[in-house]
Amino acid sequence: MTNEIIAALAEACPGLRVDGVRALDAGHTSRQWVADTDEGRLLVKTPVRDKDPEHLRKLIATTRRAAEGGVPVVRFRAFVPHSAALGAPLLVQEYQEGEPADAAWPAMDAAARLAFAEDLGRLVARVHACTGPWFGDVLGVERYPDARAHLHAIVDSRLAKAPAEFTAAGRAGLGDALHRAVEATAPAGEAPALTHGDLWRQNLILRGGRIACLLDFEHGRYADRFLDFGKLDEHVFPEGREAFLAAYDEVFPLPEGWAGRVRLGNAIHALSMAVYFLRWEPRFVAEYVAELDAWLN
C-alpha cells in the first residue's frame, strides 16, 4: 500500500518529498497512514464507510469553526474529493504527536483523572460556545429554524432506519415518546451551538498529561449543545462528571432545564447508535435498545 499512498500524496501535495509511510491502527470509519515528509509528519486519511466527499468537506468546515473559537484542533494540508491513486476521497492533515486519552487513561491516578475531567469540561464548553447562524450542518446544506425543528428531524431520520418492532414500545411508540420529549424540553431562543458529535477519549490527544488536541469533527453540526452528552455519558462518565460540569459551567453557564435536555440527548444518542450498528455491528444493538426501553419507562 505504500506506493499508493505516496502516489496519493503526489496528487494532493505536488512537490512534497515523502521519506516514509506507515499504516496507523486508529479509527473505525477510515484508513489512516503517517507520512514522514520534508514538511514534517502528515496524517493521510481516506474513508471506508461514507465515501461522499461532502462528508469530508463538512469535517473540514466544522474543524475550522472550532479553531475560530480557540479549540485546539488539527490543521489541514490538502483535500482531494476523489484520489485516482486510492479511488476515494483523500484528506491530508498535520499529524498530532501525543497519546490518545483512552490509551493513557488506565495509568492515570485519581488526581490526573480529575484534571482531565476539568480540562475536558472547559474544552467542550469552548466548542459549544461557538454559535452558528442556523441549526444543521456547518455548510448549511441542511438548515432548521430552531432547536425543536432540528431535533424532530433528527429523531425522524433515525427512526426511518429502525425496524417496526424496535424497542418494547415499537418504533411508533418510541417515536411518539421522543417527539413529546422534544416538545417539552427543546430550548427556545437559544443560539445553535457547535457540537462535536463524537466526544470520547479516543478523539483527545494528550501531551504532558493535558489535552492538546480534539480530533475528528466528522459528526459535528450546529445543534442543541446537550446532544454531545450522549457520548460523554456512555464513554467518559460517571467518573469526573461533577468536575467536568463545574469547569464547563465556568466557561459556558449551564442553563435552566439542562438536565432534561441531557436525558433527551442521551435517548437520541442511544437511538442513533442502535440504527448505526444495525448496519455495521448488529451485536451491539441490544444494549442501546435496552437503554431506550429504560428511558421509555
Confidence of residue 26 (pLDDT cuts 50, 70, 90): low
Contact between residue 126 and residue 69 where contact means Cβ atoms under 8 Å apart: yes
What is the predicted pLDDT for the residue at 22? 95
CA 286 distance to own-chain centroid: 22
pTM, rounded to two decimals? 0.94
Give the bridge partners for 45, in sequence order.
32, 91
Query: What superfamily would CATH give domain 99-296?
Result: Aminoglycoside phosphotransferase (APH), C-terminal lobe (3.90.1200.10)
DSSP state of 207: E
What is the predicted pLDDT for the residue at 161? 96
- What average pLDDT is seen over the chain? 95
Angstrom distance (rounded) from CA 293 to CA 171: 11
Render pLDDT for 154-206 as a digit per residue (tens, 0 to 9).
999 999 999 999 999 999 999 999 999 999 999 988 999 999 999 999 999 99
What is the predicted pLDDT for the residue at 2? 86
Contact between residue 90 and residue 77 where contact means Cβ atoms under 8 Å apart: no
Q: Please say whether the structural domain 2-94 has been given the CATH code 3.40.50.300.
A: no
Confidence of residue 220 (pLDDT cuts 50, 70, 90): very high
Task: Parse the chain into domains and list their residue ranges.
Answer: 2-94, 99-296
Cell 457520548, residue?
231
Angstrom distance (rounded) from CA 199 to CA 234: 10
Render pLDDT for 71-113 as a digit per residue (tens, 0 to 9).
999 999 999 999 999 999 999 999 999 999 999 999 999 999 9
Mean pLDDT for the stretch of residues 29-34? 91
> Terminal CA-to-CA distance of the chain, rounded, Å?
51
What is the predicted pLDDT for the residue at 283? 95
Identify the three-state secondary structure at position 65.
Answer: helix
Angstrom distance (rounded) from CA 205 to CA 131: 24
Measured in degrees and rounded to the nearest 5, phi and psi for residue 136 equal 140, -165
Q: How many CA atoms lie within 13 A of 69 on its CB side?
A: 23
Name the amino acid, one letter, at 110: A
Share of the chain above pLDDT 70, in %: 99
Q: Where does residue 75 rank: exposed (0-12), middle (13-18), buried (19+ CB within 10 A)?
A: exposed
Measured in degrees and rounded to the nearest 5, phi and psi for residue 86 equal -110, -15
Contact between residue 170 and residue 147 where contact means Cβ atoms under 8 Å apart: no
Confidence of residue 49 (pLDDT cuts 50, 70, 90): confident
Sheet holding 193-195, edge to edge: 143-144, 135-136, 221-223, 193-195
Angstrom distance (rounded) from CA 169 to CA 171: 7
Give percent helix, percent strand, percent coil of the chain, each to the nearest 5. Answer: 50, 20, 30
